[in-house]
A and B are shown apart, each in its own frame.
Chain A
């Protein structure tokens, strides 16, 4: 299943100037369980797509919001030379077609 066919929200934003945090919000318990049970493969694919090693990528299911949070370092500190997205609000696109 593609992530954008399961999730109702897929978003990205800075968590401070050095980190990017991505939220995958699921519509119901079943979808949440489906993704939360696949944290390992999700982490592997995120690491590959964002050009990071797996130990730089944190994947954390957050049941109260039926969401899975992914946090990883930004390529460039927010607003520094060469940054392309100061707020980090458009860095979610590589997640959309991840197959789980």
Chain B
């Protein structure tokens, strides 16, 4: 009997609250052992972990690489996999490998199989990929079934071709389908983090609104607590609401800290949007059970008439090279904008003698405008500043050529009123130029209407041993 079959069977005999363990909000960066083990001692019914997010930027989705190291991901996956198999409860992993495209899912499944081999574990596993074919997206564009999210422009076919990977954020439905394949372990490509913890409640018939609200909170582990942190959290769900308790004694889930979590990385704290509808949080109440536990009730789920998935895609825009340097000259800092502009022109005249201007060169002066493009200059210049030059070019060689030329001419640029005529820059290391590799941008962040999730996102089941 598989772990999910055992759980469903148990509930068929006796309906009771469901105990879910949110082990990690970002698998691969370490799961603190004391809180995780405290959670395992509380007889959980499932373990869930989220591996990804769009907030980490386009490089991972574009390149197919994971954000944490493989070593880190394997260590954490081993911890949750061994625990889930030991207790014989389902393990659910969402947004495999950070960005959840095929290379990320493949790497994650590869790690899971490797752990099973090394540790002598045998179990059944279902995986659902989140990649959407270019043809399907183009058909949807042609049918007027794709619309932009937020400030994105309408999606063009050419952008679909440019994207290295296009993934959809899968919802509860995909997790549910994977569990229904009768397995012990579920691994999904890019997915809504709510699906990880709302799928089993959906199979057991818990109210969708409450379950999704709980899911949205515990996928971040103990981030909803005071102080917030990455320790494991326990969510206990019943038909009226759920109770939250951090498995780290020093972290308290208070009504206000839990309520505040609805603000985190969300434009609208009253709604959670899912492929199949919307969770309404307007009537939610938060009540302290004691100093460390909070009970939450009142979320409702409004099903949508049309299934929609959020598409994410990242396109390569070239190769990046950096110049890293410092400055301590007040004149240089004061006049940095005209100096950067002048040096950019000198560099262009040199590197474009035989070639077109096929690159982008930019500068930031940390201490002045590194973090924000401020509307006004600071009232006074700092004592020191950090100069970052950045070039993005069609080839690594071209980026390197531009940035090395820039280093030379920025170092020796003779601006008016210059006192430090031996050099404008302090190089903290040698070489001061750094080739960073491929650069990417998000070029797809759109909503696509979809009818048949199972056809677009088929699942694969396997026995791992």
A-side residues, CB < 8 A to B, are: 13-19, 21, 23, 25, 49, 51, 58, 60, 62, 64-67, 69, 71, 73-75, 77-82, 84-87, 90-91, 93-94
Contacts and interface: CB of A to CB of B under 8 A. Distances in A.
Contacts of B260: 23, 25, 65, 67
Given A16-B54, A79-B57, A84-B370, A64 B259 contact: yes
B259 to A, nearest CB: 4
A21 B263 CA distance: 9
B370 A19 contact: no
Contacts of B266: 15, 21
A62 B149 contact: no
A25 B263 CA distance: 10
Interface string B336-377: 000000000000000000000000101010000011110100
B268 A60 contact: yes
What 6 A-B pairs come out closest when comparing CB atoms?
A79-B57, A64-B259, A18-B150, A65-B260, A15-B267, A65-B259
B265 A21 contact: yes
A85 B371 contact: yes
Contact of B263 (A62, A77, A79, A81): A62
B152 A60 contact: no
Given A82-B362, A90-B372, 11 more contacts: A14-B55, A14-B265, A19-B151, A62-B262, A65-B256, A74-B151, A78-B57, A78-B442, A79-B58, A85-B372, A87-B57
A73 to B, nearest CB: 5
Interface residues of B, number: 40
B286 A64 contact: yes
Interface of B: 54-59, 149-152, 255-256, 259-260, 262-270, 284, 286, 317, 360, 362, 364, 370-373, 375, 392, 439-442, 445
A84 to B, nearest CB: 6
A94 B372 contact: yes
Contact of A81 (B284, B370, B375, B392): B392
Contact of A90 (B256, B362, B371): B371
Contacts of B372: 84-85, 90-91, 93-94
Nearest to B392: A81
A56 to B, nearest CB: 9
5 contacts: A16-B149, A16-B150, A18-B445, A86-B56, A90-B372
B460 to A, nearest CB: 29
Nearest to B442: A17
Contact of B265 (A13, A67, A81, A86): A13
Contacts of B59: 79
A69 B317 CA distance: 34
A51 B442 contact: no
